[in-house]
Chain A
């Protein structure tokens, strides 16, 4: 099967890759580009572990085909920190012990950032519903929700 040539921007870097038409964006990120911070928990859009941003929109990368991102801009967990400077969400996840095994963490961080980008002052309920597409089996969500709320407060300067 002929591979497709795709030109994108990933975490601000112009990036090209070749992919088979049936490969998902998640496959491409992980297997072709070795950006393995984005995780696969289900491959069916039900766990959110593969969350990335495509042109500023939160998507499950397992539901996007590689060729579909031609000309688009993708942000993954690998681009969230600026150099040694962790994003406040990343810092609060650590300070508030919002991860146990950590496999869901990249997806939660990407999804939470998407929330705070559009709503800097979410209620607990809003956070819970926004993150309802991300499964975590370890934490019971308590500390994740607190970390997001605390990061939001810090980012608002509250």
Chain B
């Protein structure tokens, strides 16, 4: 193999991996040149708008669009009648469980509207104002039905049932009556009763969390253009243009070859852009009108109809001996799925106790339909809520036993080669390293002021690999283009360039990384699950190795020696072994210039299904100060320690950690979906859905621990998901130390904390 591989494992000899290069797409993004989803225009383009149900649950008796169609400027109206009624089929296209039929019905309601904001019809018109006016002219005859918003209420036998074909899966005997409970899942092992019997201390608590939105700043947007022969082009921002292609093909019963999706820059996703809302509708409108159609959601639509993550009700019970050994741990997690089945409760059941090596453990999860928007993946989907409940309870166990919370975790920590709480054996993991680094961090020993408290919590996420494609084209002047199929959501182009530069041995600035469209690169699973640097990175490294192999072959040809007698070092071919020193080295630039004479263009390409994504662990330290008059919580200091495997581009790794923490703090303190008794969302805007702003936060100290992932050429693990897992419990535990009250319900907003402090 090439020398590029020789540098692979961590440690010395790395020139580019681990440096803080300027991101290749950066200048376009600081000058306003970068095109995001809503920035694309076509001649003759129409504007599409969606009519949404004002009711949380209603039968749609009829839709009459004749008045809208009569309005000058209106070119098309579509409803579910324009969409094929496809059969139920599990989809493994996006992130987390989804059914193609449900997704179709989520894009345009069929028979029933299942939540406030559910899309019912759509119109395309020559201007936005006309489209808006046309929506008001579409007459929908609704039969309003009783609705249910709360997860526990939805599980009751007398609850209004959303779907008459949902029978709880995973229970024995199988139910004969439909209900809102779509699924029961269970993970664990051992003997809980024996474990609790052996405990000196048992703590059992109940928790609730509210749905929160991913909150990406860029609303969903796309342009679709269907030509007379059915060829369809979609421009849009998403976490996976191949995902868009697959969903549109399935939902509209098209051949994949008829669809080309061109990725725009994506203005944040966090899991929320891993499925389709507008794209199939835009295609239908374009097909019907014969014109390109642009659709952009308003912020209100984003809140009412996309995301959020599940609200939950969770019970946790943990038993431990006086020495801190956890003898038994169990949890029951009830997760809102929204209008269609498919919450991330299975991930909750798998991740909940994953930080701990336990003899007796069980998590039961329930996936429950409610009249809310169909939940979507949100950063470490499913894990943060369970972690909030479990890490809060762990903190209380530590307190009851009188042991330092980090020591309690150290005592029970999951280690390399230990059996995970959800089944498989871990390989190399770095949880203990994060605990030790947290304990040794100056923050952990720093003095606290009045009304201040310090909380600790840990978190876990699997990280995923999966299918990725990459290609490297060496240009005639010795520069190179690295093409991948992974949308760059937070600087991944920079990481791709660094890894390619490392293998090729050339300056990363000579490498131009691009995100290629669905017709120009092989299939690539979406950007999610913290997989891109790992899996797409592997495809890039593999492609670069192929380039190096070809460069060595070209040099061998020129020198007329055996290819094995050519080594690749520092960006040049050198004669090696007995030939060492016989010829002047040939640089990549030299070889590129001669490519035409030595066999043609030099390209490397790789398509793989990456296995062995290393799980990630983090431990967070949070200091809060509480205001006893107002109940306001201020985060005064925050340190997030995480095993990142190997930071390919440390700045963007830190950025992932800091961003995840900030989202977690928002989830902990302020963010929530607020519904009225009428089942309508009351806060669909950034004014009333309060995400953290700069003045709410301190600097966030991101401490990177590097326990290399042996499956990746440079040791990388996914880093994006873990940091949102610990913050809610870290904040709650800090509030407890500051104010003496346990906060089992999120968000821990000022009125809630004030009530708790007042003993209500």
Taking Cβ atoms with an 8 Å cutoff, the residues of A that contact B are: 1, 20, 22, 27, 30, 34-44, 46-47, 49, 76-78, 80-81, 86, 90, 93-97, 99-106, 109, 125, 127-129, 131-146
Interface centre among B32, B659, B661 (most CB of A within 10 A): B32
What separation, in Å, do the CA atoms of A139 and B31 have in the docked complex? 19
Chain B residues lying within 8 Å of A137, measured Cβ to Cβ, are 214-217, 268, 270, 659, 662-663, 691
Chain A residues lying within 8 Å of B694, measured Cβ to Cβ, are 127-129, 131-132, 134, 136, 141, 144-145
Shortest beta-carbon distance from A27 to chain B in Å = 8
User: Given A139-B658, A143-B655, does the pair A97, B32 have CB atoms closer than 8 Å?
Assistant: no
What separation, in Å, do the CA atoms of A129 and B694 have in the docked complex? 7
Chain A residues lying within 8 Å of B513, measured Cβ to Cβ, are none
Chain A residues lying within 8 Å of B697, measured Cβ to Cβ, are 128, 140-142
Chain A residues lying within 8 Å of B29, measured Cβ to Cβ, are 99, 102, 105
Contact assessment for B268 and A138 in the assembled complex, using a CB-CB cutoff below 8 Å: yes
Contact assessment for B699 and A145 in the assembled complex, using a CB-CB cutoff below 8 Å: yes
Q: Is B686 an interface residue (CB 8 A)?
A: yes
Known: A97-B20, A145-B694. 18 other contacts (CB 8 A): A1-B129, A36-B38, A40-B38, A44-B299, A46-B687, A47-B299, A49-B217, A80-B32, A94-B26, A101-B218, A101-B265, A101-B266, A103-B268, A104-B217, A132-B693, A132-B694, A138-B268, A138-B490
What separation, in Å, do the CA atoms of A41 and B36 have in the docked complex? 12
Chain A contact residues, majority secondary structure:
loop
Residue in A35, A39, A95, A142 whose CB lies within 8 Å of B267: A39
Shortest beta-carbon distance from A26 to chain B in Å = 11
Taking Cβ atoms with an 8 Å cutoff, the residues of B that contact A are: 20, 22-23, 25-27, 29-36, 38-39, 41, 127-129, 214-219, 265-270, 296, 298-299, 489-491, 651-652, 654-656, 658-663, 685-687, 691-697, 699-700
Contact assessment for A105 and B30 in the assembled complex, using a CB-CB cutoff below 8 Å: yes
User: Given A42-B685, A94-B23, A101-B265, does the pair A140, B700 have CB atoms closer than 8 Å?
Assistant: yes
Shortest beta-carbon distance from A39 to chain B in Å = 7
User: Given A36-B35, A37-B32, A137-B268, does the pair A97, B217 have CB atoms closer than 8 Å?
Assistant: no
Contact assessment for B659 and A41 in the assembled complex, using a CB-CB cutoff below 8 Å: no
Chain B residues lying within 8 Å of A129, measured Cβ to Cβ, are 694-695
Contact assessment for A76 and B217 in the assembled complex, using a CB-CB cutoff below 8 Å: no
Shortest beta-carbon distance from B450 to chain A in Å = 20
Residue in B22, B25, B652, B686 whose CB lies within 8 Å of A44: B686
Interface centre among B41, B654, B695 (most CB of A within 10 A): B695
Chain A residues lying within 8 Å of B266, measured Cβ to Cβ, are 101
Which residue of chain B is the closest to A81 with respect to CB atoms? B31
Residue in B23, B663, B693 whose CB lies within 8 Å of A97: B23
Residue in B30, B38, B268 whose CB lies within 8 Å of A90: B30
* 13 A/B residue pairs, CB under 8 Å, sorted by A: A39-B218, A46-B687, A47-B217, A47-B686, A49-B217, A86-B31, A94-B27, A101-B489, A102-B25, A105-B29, A128-B695, A138-B655, A141-B697
Chain A residues lying within 8 Å of B25, measured Cβ to Cβ, are 102
What separation, in Å, do the CA atoms of A43 and B127 have in the docked complex? 17
Which residue of chain B is the closest to A27 with respect to CB atoms? B128
Contact assessment for B267 and A36 in the assembled complex, using a CB-CB cutoff below 8 Å: no
Chain A residues lying within 8 Å of B265, measured Cβ to Cβ, are 101-103
What separation, in Å, do the CA atoms of A128 and B699 have in the docked complex? 10
Contact assessment for A41 and B219 in the assembled complex, using a CB-CB cutoff below 8 Å: yes
Residue in B23, B31, B215, B489 whose CB lies within 8 Å of A80: B31
Interface centre among B31, B36, B128, B651 (most CB of A within 10 A): B31
Residue in A22, A36, A46 whose CB lies within 8 Å of B39: A36
Chain A residues lying within 8 Å of B660, measured Cβ to Cβ, are 140
Residue in A37, A134, A141, A144 whose CB lies within 8 Å of B31: A37
What separation, in Å, do the CA atoms of A132 and B691 have in the docked complex? 11
User: Given A77-B31, A95-B22, A97-B491, does the pair A135, B655 have CB atoms closer than 8 Å?
Assistant: no
Which residue of chain A is the closest to B652 with respect to CB atoms? A97
Contact assessment for B298 and A41 in the assembled complex, using a CB-CB cutoff below 8 Å: no
Contact assessment for B30 and A101 in the assembled complex, using a CB-CB cutoff below 8 Å: no
Contact assessment for A109 and B217 in the assembled complex, using a CB-CB cutoff below 8 Å: no
Which residue of chain A is the closest to B294 with respect to CB atoms? A31
What 8 A-B pairs have minimum CB-CB distances, sorted nearest first?
A37-B32, A103-B267, A140-B662, A102-B29, A140-B658, A97-B651, A46-B686, A100-B490
User: Given A101-B489, A103-B267, A105-B29, does the pair A34, B686 have CB atoms closer than 8 Å?
Assistant: no
Chain B residues lying within 8 Å of A39, measured Cβ to Cβ, are 36, 38, 217-218, 267
Chain B residues lying within 8 Å of A96, measured Cβ to Cβ, are 651
What separation, in Å, do the CA atoms of A144 and B490 have in the docked complex? 14
What separation, in Å, do the CA atoms of A4 and B663 have in the docked complex? 43
